Amino acid sequence: MDNTYSLSTTAQTSMEEFLQAALLFWLPLICLPFGTVLALSRKEGRRPVIAWAVVSLAFMMVILSWLTVPASDSSAGGHLLLSIIGPTILMGLGCFMIIFTGKIPVRRLPEPARTVGLISLILGISWLVMMHFSSPPIWRHQVNPYWLVWWPTFLLSVILLSSFVTGALLMAGENRRKEASLMAVWGLLFLGLLLAMINFDGALTKAEEMRSYLWLVSADIFGTVIGIIIAVTIVASVVAKYEKSLPEPDTVSELSTEEKELLLMHLENNLGGGNK
């Protein structure tokens, strides 16, 4: 009898924890992309305001999930977001200022914004490096497991992206050697951080442990890239095969005199031109 009661209580507790995690973490997490799409789909009216309010509330619920649903393992993701939100904002603002003070076909920011952006970017990166070596995010009295995956993923992704952008600027860009050199420098900087991560122990992390995570992350990224290439190749092949199966378009006959006069009349009415 006691065993039956204990099992029933355990099942009830598990169900309550599951519902709490679904309502306080997974539902807000689902609302983030849907709310963002709704907010960007229309510029006027109440819908964008309501959608952005929902996105803000959902984001707050996600990053505070380690307090609202501490029993759920998924709350480690919210704890990670809260831990990296500061350096992420700094790096985002820095990249924005650096990009919009460069050679762009839109209105540029004032030149001092480039220096401010560079300082902001360096501070954000330094913040993350300090977190790794001195005070990584602690969740349930241990290093957040998502941090151990996210940190090498971030470093490796930036290295790959910098390499790609550098090559694209050199091959397709015009007079972009300065920008390509800057991207190469950033890539080398993150490569140095990656080497430091896998060769030097932190306060609560071991270099050997980070090497293991780096191999796993490399496999994930490699598999993702291969999957994207295969998907794009399949789609392009299907589209090309479909276009080849289409019949040749019919030849359009020359406009008649009446059609030309009608066209010129419409052009004159709409554009203010005349017959020439």
Q: Name the range with the highest mean pLDDT among 23-27, 107-111, 132-136, 263-267.
A: 132-136
**Alpha carbon of 84 to those of 51, 65, 136, 155, 218: distances in Å?**
24, 15, 10, 14, 22
Which band of pLDDT confidence, cut at 50, 70 and 90, is reported for residue 234? very high
Is residue 171 scored above 50 in pLDDT? yes
Least confident of 11-15, 104-108, 244-248: 11-15
Least confident of 21-35, 82-96, 105-119: 105-119
Burial class (CB in 10 A: 0-12, 13-18, 19+), 113: middle
Q: Cα separation of 70 and 66, whole Å?
A: 5
Average pLDDT of the segment spanning 122-128: 93
Least confident of 31-35, 160-164, 256-260: 256-260
Least confident of 42-46, 113-117, 240-244, 254-258: 42-46
Which band of pLDDT confidence, cut at 50, 70 and 90, is reported for residue 50? confident
* Domain boundaries along the sequence of the chain: 20-72
**Cβ atoms of residues 230 and 198 within 8 Å:** no
* Residue-averaged pLDDT of the chain: 83
Is residue 131 scored above 60 in pLDDT? yes
Which band of pLDDT confidence, cut at 50, 70 and 90, is reported for residue 23? confident
